[in-house]
Amino acid sequence: MTASHGVTSAVGARAATGRADEALIRVEDLWHTYMAGTPFAQAALRGVTMYVCPGEVVGVIGHTGSGKSTLIQYLNGLLRPSRGRVVVAGYEVGRSNSGIEAVRRLVGVAFQDPEDQVFEPLVGDDVAYGPRQLGLAVDELRARVRWAMEAVGLPFDAFKDRYTYTLSGGELRRTALAGVLAMRPRVLVLDEPTAGLDPVTRSDVRERLLTLCRRDGLTLVLVSHDMDEIAGLADRVYVLHAGAVVASGPPREVFARPDALAPYGLLPPYPTQVCMRLRARGIPVRGDALTIEEAGAAIAAALRATR
Amino acid sequence: MIGEPLIVCDGVEYGYGEAQDGLALRGVSLQVSAGEHVAIIGPNGSGKSTLARHLNGLLRPCAGTVRIRGMDTRDPAHTRYIRQTVGMVFQHPDSQMVATVVEEDVAFGPENLGVPHAELHTRVREALEFVEMWDYRDRPPHLLSAGQKQRVAIAAVLAMRPACIVLDEATSLLDPRGRADLGRLVAGLRRQGTAIVSITHLMDEAAVADRVVVLGGGLVVAAGPPRDVFGDAERLAVLGLDLPAATALALRVRREIPDFPVDLMSVDEIVDAVAGRAAS
């Protein structure tokens, strides 16, 4: 069984990243107020507009309380707009109940602490839990679980009968991810997918996510505090602050703009920070380096030039 | 500030349940002195959290010993004293809140120790002021941010007046601001002489410790000051660990500038090193 199931067409779209008119998810002027109409009313989203195109990796960054988690709940119809619109693959969320199941099947969400989403005693049963509700034939179910587990780096035969309580943190995280993937969503929304993982596991999970995007046309919405992760994975990034989008664009452009992050208490990736500080001290290095490799090469070039 | 050994682990072995995956700890020996900051790093599954849970007797070794100020954690008579001496802060802020109001949450521990009422109030106030959460004392914990909850969790431990605080990936679910706040808090605790054992996946966090202990497969595979441990980049890569970003950047520069220093641990150090050379 292959990983295609109707998402392969998105692969070609990746080259034309980020055109609003071909969006798979469109959020328009979305507002949300918690406990509206009470003295505790608190605005969580204040006119958010964003879009996600097929095959794209879109990053969402912002501090705790910036509205990220509220926004995520709109992307698969857990919340329904009372002001603004959310359109997923043509379905307008909240207009009627029809289509809401299709939206939930199109958009899979792994919330922060995905460990809390693992509840079956055995790994294989846990991954199978979602697709089992779809009433699939046993062979199809098994094939999906196998595919999802292999896709996240849990060899099916070695892990399907492991007890979930014996898993390490990294294995547990992969199990939770496989459970969402086994539903075969077109869009995967991940809240802090690699927080708490060791560096090797972190880069392995990132590689696998990229493979799912590039080979299988999966679309990814990535909510993360880890700017290196956003820099390495995202095609475009939205900066959220106090419920509003305050900056957006490719990470290289957004992270190099002094007004896009610092006023909101966010820091760019480490290499970008170093280069910006050096420029402020009059050392001519590029200001938009995103990786250790780019920053290191820029610093070495600047040092050679002064000799 | 660094003095006599507070925690002594000697040949600690531990296995979970039927041990289908072998031992989680396979003979770990390590010491933490009073006032010292020790960072424990290692890949997922290397035994870090299992070791942390031994440091205040939440787990007891199958073989070997853990002694806190000389007291064996296997002797139940010492449990109360040991838990007062070594406090734990875990990764998930929510699982550490026991009361419905911040102030009561912080009072819970010392109250159970039978601390008299007047002193109880002083302790709670001092602890909450230290973590800058006194203004939130009447709030229900579930309305706080994750970073604020972790600060309350630390206050709850501080109110026990421990000699050592173990932070088990306490920052891994926090945003950068929450992480920075916690970093400043840890620095403040060290200044007042509290020992810190921090378990982390963030090498930049480990870089500020007095000593780094590297666990791999349930064993201590390297230990020493950050500059020594992170100086051996190849060894770390074999163990599946990163370098602090500053060290990685310095190594990259050195590939082209052979005499560039590599024992750099922070943004400030690397900026100064580059600026110093560019000026000379």
- Per-residue pLDDT of B219-278, as tens digits, reads 999 999 999 999 888 888 888 888 888 999 999 999 999 999 988 888 889 999 999 988
H/E run at residue B252: helix B245-254
Q: What is the pLDDT of residue A9?
A: 36
**Cα–Cα distance for residue pair B276/B270, rounded to 1 Å:** 10
Say yes or no for a CB contact (<8 Å) between A166 and B17: yes
Residue B267 token pair: 């943004």
- Are A219 and A55 a contacting pair, CB within 8 Å? yes
Among the ranges given (A47-61, A166-180, B197-211), the one the predictor scored with the smallest mean pLDDT: A166-180
Q: What is the pLDDT of residue A158?
A: 94
Q: Where are the beta strands (DSSP E) in chain B?
A: 5-14, 25-33, 37-41, 63-68, 71-72, 86-89, 164-168, 195-199, 211-216, 219-224
Give the chain B residue whose CA is nearest to the CA of A169: B44
With an 8 Å Cβ cutoff, is B5 touching chain A?
no
H/E run at residue B186: helix B176-191
Q: What is the pLDDT of residue B236?
A: 86
H/E run at residue B237: helix B233-238
Mean pLDDT on A175-193: 92
Q: What is the pLDDT of residue B3?
A: 55
With an 8 Å Cβ cutoff, is B201 touching chain A?
yes
Say yes or no for a CB contact (<8 Å) between A166 and B16: yes
Say yes or no for a CB contact (<8 Å) between B249 and A225: no
Side-chain half-sphere CA neighbours of A226 within 13 A = 23
Q: Which of residues 95-134 of B touch A (CB under 8 A)?
A: none
- Are B52 and B166 a contacting pair, CB within 8 Å? yes
DSSP string, B58-94: SS--SEEEEEETTEETT-GGGHHHHHHHEEEE-S-GG
Task: Classify residue A258 as exposed, middle or buried by CB count within 10 Å of its CB (0-12, 13-18, 19+).
Answer: exposed
Q: Pairing relation of β-strands A219-223 and A236-241?
A: unpaired
CA dihedral A167, A168, A174, A176 (to 10 degrees): 60
Residue B59, pLDDT above cutoff 90: yes
Q: How long is chain A?
A: 307
- Per the listing, tokens 């294995």 go with A171
**Cα–Cα distance for residue pair A253/B1, rounded to 1 Å:** 47
Residue B62, pLDDT above cutoff 70: yes
Mutate to test the interface with B, among A116, A274, A279, A294 (most CBs of B within 10 A): A274
Q: Which is the CATH superfamily of the domain at B5-243?
A: P-loop containing nucleotide triphosphate hydrolases (3.40.50.300)
With an 8 Å Cβ cutoff, is A16 touching chain B?
no
Mutate to test the interface with A, among B203, B253, B255, B277 (most CBs of A within 10 A): B253
Q: What is the pLDDT of residue A250?
A: 95
Say yes or no for a CB contact (<8 Å) between B253 and A168: no
- Are B37 and B209 a contacting pair, CB within 8 Å? yes
Q: How confident is the model at residue A18 (pLDDT cuts 50, 70, 90)?
A: low
B263 contacts: CB under 8 Å, gap ≥ 6 = B227, B230, B231, B247, B250
**Cα–Cα distance for residue pair A64/B24, rounded to 1 Å:** 34
A100 contacts: CB under 8 Å, gap ≥ 6 = A77, A91, A93
Q: Which of residues 272-291 of A touch B (CB under 8 A)?
A: 273-274, 277-278, 281, 283
With an 8 Å Cβ cutoff, is B45 touching chain A?
yes
- Are B155 and B131 a contacting pair, CB within 8 Å? yes
With an 8 Å Cβ cutoff, is A307 touching chain B?
no
- Per-residue pLDDT of A86-135, as tens digits, reads 999 888 887 777 788 888 889 999 887 766 788 899 999 999 999 998 88
B258-280 in b/e form (b: 16+ CB < 10 A) is: eebebebbebebbbebbeebbee
CA distance B92 to chain A (A): 9
Q: How long is chain B?
A: 280
**Cα–Cα distance for residue pair B46/B21, rounded to 1 Å:** 12
Among the ranges given (A201-210, A244-253, B122-131, B232-241), the one the predictor scored with the smallest mean pLDDT: B232-241
Which of A119, A118, A126 shows the shortest CA–CA distance to A148? Answer: A126
Residue B280, pLDDT above cutoff 80: no
Among the ranges given (A239-248, B30-39, B60-69, B142-151), the one the predictor scored with the smallest mean pLDDT: B142-151
With an 8 Å Cβ cutoff, is A35 touching chain B?
no
Q: What is the pLDDT of residue B1?
A: 44
Q: What is the pLDDT of residue B145?
A: 80
Q: What is the pLDDT of residue B57?
A: 93
**Cα–Cα distance for residue pair B82/B92, rounded to 1 Å:** 23
B274 vs A166, A195, A283: nearest CB = A283
With an 8 Å Cβ cutoff, is B92 touching chain A?
yes
Mean pLDDT on A217-234: 91
pLDDT averaged over every residue in chain B: 89
Q: Pairing relation of β-strands A219-223 and A187-191?
A: parallel
pLDDT averaged over every residue in chain A: 86
Q: What is the pLDDT of residue A1?
A: 36
CA distance B202 to chain A (A): 8
DSSP string, B108-151: HHHHHTT--HHHHHHHHHHHHHHTT-GGGTTS-GGGS-HHHHHH
Neighbours of A281 (CB within 10 A): 12
| Domain ranges, ordered by start, for chain B | 5-243
**Cα–Cα distance for residue pair B160/B156, rounded to 1 Å:** 7
Handedness of CA A125, A129, A131, A137 (dihedral sign): positive
- Are A34 and A222 a contacting pair, CB within 8 Å? no
